[in-house]
Structure 1
């Protein structure tokens, strides 16, 4: 009898191991939404309603729903700005989908860090794939992973496909394998200018603005910046351009924080993502100088 019980419990242990071993990447009942829908109508609420209908155990949060309409690049940045601070197993649903209803693929990306991203494969995953790594990509099977009786709806995949699939994955109603067929470990990427040091100049781009305060965030990290051999308190020569047109040219003080200079004075500093940024103490740099963001915006720093 003892041997039989021992064999029984050993078998159970093996089964549990297959179910749980390597479960660092298992979904953790947390679902985080992002979109360009805004909050003026019921679109976001509808997505959350679908998710809640799948499982009441899911914890639902938001990145933002204020991505500018159709701005896939900004969606990509906001995901990588946020996702690393969430636990492995978190499921993100990002819906910025100007090609809704077309042939673009609907996918779920599992990153090397153990995070899941449910989204159209239209460039939204550019920075997440680059910085968090691609472990596996699966195409959503819309025959099985689609809200019931939504087959005739072609323009709200955020509700009918992405929220539904994300909730099923987050709640473990389906496994990652059950999302759909495995795809090559690659995603659609938006080309952009990477930062570099060249002939005594640090060259970069302006991927995003710190919208609330008008600070200008660049893709220049501290390692590149240190090539200029500047100390805190030094002035930096800055040029900002859009395409071939100059927008700003001048000196800014390199500081640790805004209060290191008088009110109204421009500064260069490292933001919370440790990327070089421009701002004004108690002011709005972007608005004052007409600086925007995107792949055609460039910045150059020199001593």
Structure 2
């Protein structure tokens, strides 16, 4: 097991000292910790995005890595602070607010413990209610990553079944179409990453070069409808042309070669963004 690795994620951005304070707290606990960043550009308050980025990343890190994820719109409320032990023996330190949804579903969680804030909280921060990222999560994550506490020392065990999960959009499969949702963006490039898995899409028996009618609704409002080619990668269509492809997480993606699909059609993310891919006979 690889100890001493701490990976941080938040919606804090890097424009002020918040992330730096978390790093400082971790290094006060153990100066030899190796600290990395997953991202601090999670859309503010977007728990789903935090959950997805963990799922996108954790499998590429060694066993024993400790992740701290703080997307915490309910800070100071009754939501619990927890550490999850994944099936791959990594730790995720986070509020229990839905952040663990994708990890539970796609990676698996062996056990969850509630952070005992009496023991595992920085001294003299009891009256600060709005920066648990610094006072509870970075602190506990550093203690765990450095081996100063064991998983058992975190606090009382909770039922894995009882953790908060975000609602999931189920894929609808019919003879000639699949329906799902736009889960998230490949942010920098503006591609849409959908909830439809490779296996689900393959029920349509696609061949590279096939064309499909793609329809996107925001709730009931039609936002996009067009014929789109299924390709292996972006260069399979001309610059500016749309493409259906399988992304790095084996989900269906929708892109414009060297353009931003999200910007071009003002497409957002979330369960209300319905997407239908229909076989053209």
Bucket of the pairwise TM-score, normalised by the shorter protein: over 0.9
- Stretches of structure 2 lacking an aligned partner (at least 5 in a row): none
Displacement of 1:176:
0.3
CA contact (8 A) 2:175 2:204 kept: no
**1:231 aligned partner:** 207
Question: Would you identify which runs of 4 or more consecutive aligned residues in structure 1 move more than 6 Å?
Answer: none
Displacement of 1:135:
0.5
Structure 1: how far apart are the matches of 2:206 and 2:152?
A: 51
Deviation digits for residues 249-295 of structure 1 (CA, Å, limit 9, x no counterpart): 11111111111111111111111112111111111111111111112
**1:73 aligned partner:** 48
Structure 1: how far apart are the matches of 2:83 and 2:264?
A: 41
Which structure would you say has the larger Rg? 1
Deviation digits for residues 158-178 of structure 1 (CA, Å, limit 9, x no counterpart): 000000000000000000000
Structure 1: how far apart are the matches of 2:42 and 2:170?
A: 22
State how many pairs are aligned: 278
1:13-52 alignment, distance < 5 Å: 24=1, 28-52=3-27
Match of 2:241 among 243, 265, 284: 265
Q: Is 2:223 the partner of 1:250?
A: no
**1:5 aligned partner:** none
Match of 2:142 among 167, 181, 186: 167
Structure-1-length-normalised TM-score:
0.90
Q: Is 2:168 the partner of 1:217?
A: no
**1:158 aligned partner:** 133
SS of equivalent to 1:73: helix
SS of equivalent to 1:231: coil
Structure 2: how far apart are the matches of 1:70 and 1:198?
A: 35
- Stretches of structure 1 lacking an aligned partner (at least 5 in a row): 1-23
Match of 1:288 among 260, 264, 279: 264
CA contact (8 A) 2:182 2:273 kept: yes
Structure 2: how far apart are the matches of 1:185 and 1:272?
A: 28
Structure 2: how far apart are the matches of 1:31 and 1:124?
A: 18
Displacement of 1:206:
1.0
**1:115 aligned partner:** 90
Displacement of 1:28:
1.4
- State the superposition RMSD in angstroms: 1.0
SS of equivalent to 2:24: helix
Structure 2: how far apart are the matches of 1:84 and 1:243?
A: 33
1:94-109 alignment, distance < 5 Å: 94-109=69-84
Displacement of 1:124:
0.6
- Structure 1 window deviating more from structure 2 (238-247 vs 38-47): it is 238-247
SS of equivalent to 1:154: coil
**2:174 aligned partner:** 198
Structure-2-length-normalised TM-score:
0.97
Deviation digits for residues 143-162 of structure 1 (CA, Å, limit 9, x no counterpart): 11001111111110000000
Match of 1:298 among 264, 274, 277: 274
SS of equivalent to 1:174: coil
